[in-house]
Structure 1
Amino acid sequence: MVEQTRSGRRVGTTLSDALDARVVELRHLDDVVGSQDLLPAVRKELAEAEALVRNSSYPDIIGSRLLTATGELAQLAGWVASDAGLHAEAQRVYLSGVSAAEAANDFVLGGQLFSSLSYQMANVGNAEDALLLARTATHGARDATPVVRALLLERVAWASARVGDREATRRTLDEVDDAYERRTDGLPEPEWVYWLNRAEIDVMAGRCMIELGAPDKAEPLLSAAIATYPVEQAREVALYLTWLAEAYARSGQMDAAGATLSDARGFAAAMPSARTSLRLSTVATLIGDYSE
């Protein structure tokens, strides 16, 4: 898109369509390409999209599309940066994406961006702040479609589990299920929620059960979900195997925990991730502590 971002260029449908397609392409590459390899390309596309919005001319309808695409790129850039362990960069681009989404009057996308930031905060920051932000994101995206609402509620459930609120976590997980079951072919979902399916919902429920001290309830959810993932999605398989290993360890099944963690290391080697590395280290320490 570099030559397309010259100052004063008139932007129309063709370029807007190309940008939308590129966002989708990069988003799906995140399934199979490691964050360190993908991040430079996403950064470049985001910078060019921001320049296009800032320096070009276009009718209002095209401007809204460009702003939405920029917000979606910011969400992807934040997600990939967070996976690479660049949390400050992730926060910065998430918030820049919120500004783009709000300028496009796309408050559902704005909710997704705030919710993504809350998820990072729940993992590596202040869980109380994460919970407040996750709830704010859900309330702000009042027009969210069923699958998007399920996604936003998942982040509320995770933050609730991280602060140890059993009742809120269980109630919100029920709301996730209810929202997801209301999906219908007659109500199109944003493309950016393509990846949320029953397996992902079960993984999140299993993780929440571990956080709440119920690893026995987590194990069947995680085992069944992991079995559905293709080996090409090595990062997700590795991450979810670490949670299964933790469920085994906390249930006293140390041989299964060790074997599962070894499997996770194998998948992690194929698609490196700072998130995965942290999980591997955390669970290895946990298994060591339980074995002593």
Structure 2
Amino acid sequence: MDGRKSLQPVGDEGPITEAYVGWLRDHVRQLLLLDAQFGGNEASGQAVRLLRSAVRRIGVDSCPQPLWRDLMRVVGELAEVAGWLLYDADQQDASRRLSLEALHYLRLAGDRELELLTLQNLSMQAEYLGRSGEALQICEAVLDGPLPGRVRGLFLGRRAHALAKRGQHSEAARTLVEARAVVEDDGPTWAYWVDERQFAWFEGMLGMERGDFDQAAEVFAGALASTPAHRVRGAFSRSVYLLDCLVRAGDLREAERLVPDVAARVGEVGSRRTVALLRGAVRDAGFDGGGYLAELVRETGP
């Protein structure tokens, strides 16, 4: 963000105005750009501070009734983004709290589209934390109602991953086929990233869960090759998943070829969640015997 300009809120005191709501919306967009480039470690702190400032204003300043829903929507979106950034920064308890807070504001706004995004975040986090039963229940509840094709495909993909983590591999594979079949070009604006790279991630994770690391590595390699240059965090994440698969498959020669690119990203992208996965791959591969990748990982801290 542009330091001095962006830190000056529009109408810091007094009645909440349309200009203030627009100012918050602009900052949400900037936070998402920072996330795509640099990850959630630093941006999460900015998002939380901005959210707390907005929540304070909701409590003490008046808001014209015609503007109320817009205010609830943008604050709910800010809480959703902050929750996602904290997830990427591996601050999972705080992430969950803010996702639940996002649901509160989005329901006040009547914004079902962003409510669905927040529910997918909660399902994703539950999968990450090993709570596959909770992830599955969220997906089933959402899939029980009408959904745009792209959103239905996303929640079916999440359902497939949760099933795979529970060892239900055949049903997971069938669900992923169904997910790809229902995806269409319709859907909310936030769902632009529900594309073939996202479904490749689901496919790769299903392969990892059933122990087919060679197949998973092939899928992640294809997704990495198609990642746009400006999606730096996404490229870093896919590189690490690929490295992890290659290590688990015992293909250390191919894994070592990835090391220079991964090492270059360690200092550029701040994502504790991805670095946690990288630490495991480095340890399993034995790179930490004085290798510079292991040294870079150690420098990222706990």
Same fold, judged at TM 0.5 (above): yes
Distance 2:68 2:237 in 1: 38
Tell me the SS of whatever aligns to 1:4: coil
Aligned to 1:68: 73
Distance 1:256 1:288 in 2: 14
**CA displacement at 1:278 relative to structure 2:** 0.8
TM-score, normalising length: structure 2: 0.82
Aligned to 2:212: 214
RMSD, aligned CA? 2.5
- Residue 56 of structure 1: which of 55, 59, 62 is its match? 62
**Counterparts in 2 of 1:39 and 1:10: CA distance versus 1, 3 Å:** closer
Aligned to 2:172: 169
Tell me the SS of whatever aligns to 1:194: helix
Once the two structures are superposed, what CA deviation does each residue of 1:249-288 show, in whole Å capped at 9, x if it has no partner? 3433231133335532332222131111111112223334
**CA displacement at 1:96 relative to structure 2:** 0.3
Does the 8 A contact of 2:77 with 2:114 survive in 1? yes
Give 5+ residue unaligned stretches, structure 1.
none
Tell me the SS of whatever aligns to 1:175: helix
**CA displacement at 1:31 relative to structure 2:** 0.1
**CA displacement at 1:52 relative to structure 2:** 4.2
Once the two structures are superposed, what CA deviation does each residue of 1:31-61 show, in whole Å capped at 9, x if it has no partner? 012322212221122223333444332224x
**CA displacement at 1:2 relative to structure 2:** 3.8
Runs of 4+ displaced beyond 4 Å = none
**CA displacement at 1:124 relative to structure 2:** 2.2
**Counterparts in 2 of 1:3 and 1:19: CA distance versus 1, 3 Å:** closer
Does the 8 A contact of 2:41 with 2:89 survive in 1? yes
Tell me the SS of whatever aligns to 1:31: helix
Q: Does 1:156 align with 2:159?
A: yes
**Counterparts in 2 of 1:35 and 1:10: CA distance versus 1, 3 Å:** closer
TM-score, normalising length: structure 1: 0.84
Distance 2:75 2:55 in 1: 6
Match of 1:4, as an amino acid?
G
Aligned to 2:4: none
Once the two structures are superposed, what CA deviation does each residue of 1:80-131 show, in whole Å capped at 9, x if it has no partner? 1111121111011000001111111223322321221221121124222222
**Counterparts in 2 of 1:18 and 1:30: CA distance versus 1, 3 Å:** same
Does the 8 A contact of 2:35 with 2:233 survive in 1? no
- Residue 103 of structure 2: which of 91, 98, 103 is its match? 98
**Counterparts in 2 of 1:63 and 1:175: CA distance versus 1, 3 Å:** farther
Aligned to 1:225: 223
Aligned to 2:17: 11
Distance 1:222 1:127 in 2: 22
Distance 1:27 1:135 in 2: 28
Distance 1:33 1:98 in 2: 26
**Counterparts in 2 of 1:274 and 1:224: CA distance versus 1, 3 Å:** same
Q: What does residue range 1-292 of structure 1 map to in structure 2 within 5 Å?
A: 2-7=9-14, 9-12=15-18, 14-54=19-59, 55-60=61-66, 62-139=67-144, 142-180=145-183, 182-184=184-186, 189-261=187-259, 263-288=261-286
Tell me the SS of whatever aligns to 2:37: coil
Distance 1:275 1:75 in 2: 18
Does the 8 A contact of 1:94 with 1:113 survive in 2? yes
Distance 1:192 1:49 in 2: 22
Match of 2:101, as an amino acid?
S
Does the 8 A contact of 2:233 with 2:269 survive in 1? yes
**CA displacement at 1:227 relative to structure 2:** 0.9
